[in-house]
Each structure stands twice: as C-alpha cells, then as structure tokens.
Amino acid sequence: MMTISGKLSGRHALVTGAGSGIGAAIARALVSEGAHVTLAGRRREPLQALAEEIGTTGVHVVDAFDVTSPEAIARGLASAHTAFGPVDILVNNAGEAPSAAFEKTSLDMWNHVIAVDLTGVFLVTQAVLPDLKARGTGARIINIASTAGLTGYGYVSAYVAAKHGVVGLTRSLSLELAKTGITVNAVCPGFTDTPIIKRSIETIVEKTGRSAEQALAEFTKSNPQGRLVKPEEVADAVLWLAAPGSASINGQAIAVAGGEVLAG
C-alpha cells in the first residue's frame, strides 16, 4: 500500500492510458499526494493490477475506455462521476507509436495514430471540460505529448504529426481557458523506459539482427545524459503541474528529456 500525503487531497484525477508505463507512474504519483484517481484504459487486467498494487480506496477502474469513441468516453466518465464526482484534473496520456517509413505508412496507420494520439485528446478534453469549468480555479488539463511534438524523428511521421498537434492544441486551449482558472500544459518526454520502447527494441533486433544493447543505443544517443527517461520523472512533472503552486504555468510544453530539446 502506498504512503499518502495530502497536496492533492480531495481532488479527482482522470488518467487515460493508465495501465502501464508513464500512465501508471502518473497514477501512482497522484494517489501518493491524496488524489482520487480514475484509471482509464481499454483493457481491464492491467488497470485492475495497478489498482491492487496501489492498494487504496482512492482508485477507480474504468475499462473499455476507447479515446476515439465519444460513446465509450461518456460511459467511462459517468462511471468516474459515480465513484468520485466531477473530474478536476485531466491527464491525457493514451497514445500509440507504430513505426514505419513514410512511404510505407498506410492511410489506415496514419488515421489510427491521429485518432488515438490527437483526436482522442480532443474528444476526452471536450467531454471533461464541463467538470473542469465547474471547478474553475485549480482545475488542470495535462497532456502527455512528446519531444516528437517539439522536433522531428524519422520513421514515425504519423506520431510526430499527432504530437505536434497535441502541443498546438495545448497552446490554443490554454489561451481560451486562461481566465477560467483552468491551466492547460503539455509534458513532452523523450525516449522513456516503457513497454513501447521495449517493443521497439525487440522489433529492431528482429528486423536488423542487431543486439538489444545496440538497439537501445539508438534511443539513448539523442539524450545528452545518455539514458532513457524514467516514467517516474515524467510523473513528477505532471504532479508539479497538478499542484496548487503551478497556477501561473499555462500553455507550456515542458520537455523531460535530459537536455535533448532546448528552448529557443
């Protein structure tokens, strides 16, 4: 069972894509500061395992939460309301990052990545916005984008395009909502030690014959610190943005990447 402090006591956070990796780390961090957290995702098994690991009454599981489906979002939000009332911290974390050369990127792949990684942020945010507006001051929208939303990478053109869109949406919405007391920010992790990276390494090994160590080096070389980002480091940035002291932080895209992307 986690040790609970109280910086976010009484707050209700909805985290999409909460079953593993960055989403799970964010959920743990929010609960550790006293928030009630709705764990939203498509598959129940990892969400339930995380809820049991956290071991508090302050978590609620919503499965079959497809961020591309307004109906699924509405059902999940209704369940979250029943558990903990209106949402006042929204963390849009759900995303996918399939890899393909641009010439081999099918329209189906393009549409799927844009739907999950960008349109999903739009749909979930629009559904939760009445809750956030009712809360007003102190409400938070925190979008998990990527350094791919700040720069470019080869072989993930759909993902890069989607994450640039998330950063743009963050900036636009932050201005629209600035006078409501709601802040809107993006956290942009570099390559992070998550199941997505593990699968990417396995794919590189399978397709190229390189060792796992050589494949890992492809991801760590862009980080000046020479390592993968830890999910907990991303979660700490989210926790800071969710806390009361971050009220003046708005419309920002914060890189968590060891210095890979420097502000101009």
**Positions of the chain with pLDDT under 50:** 264
Residue 262 is predicted with a pLDDT of 86
**Closest alpha carbon to 159 in 218, 223, 98:** 98
Residue 134 is predicted with a pLDDT of 97
Which residue is catalytic, options 159, 177, 253, 254? 159
Length of the chain: 264
Check if 159 is active-site: yes
Other CB atoms within 10 Å distance of the CB of residue 20? 18
Using CA atoms, how far residue 126 sits from 15, 123, 129, 149, in Å, is: 15, 5, 5, 21
Task: Tell me the CATH number of domain 12-190+230-247, given options 3.60.130.10, 3.40.50.720, 3.40.50.880, 3.20.20.370.
Answer: 3.40.50.720
Residue 158 is predicted with a pLDDT of 98
- What does the domain layout of the chain look like in residue ranges? 12-190+230-247, 191-228
pTM of the model: 0.93
Q: Do the bridges between strand 89-92 and strand 12-16 make them parallel or antiparallel, or are there none, so unpaired?
A: parallel
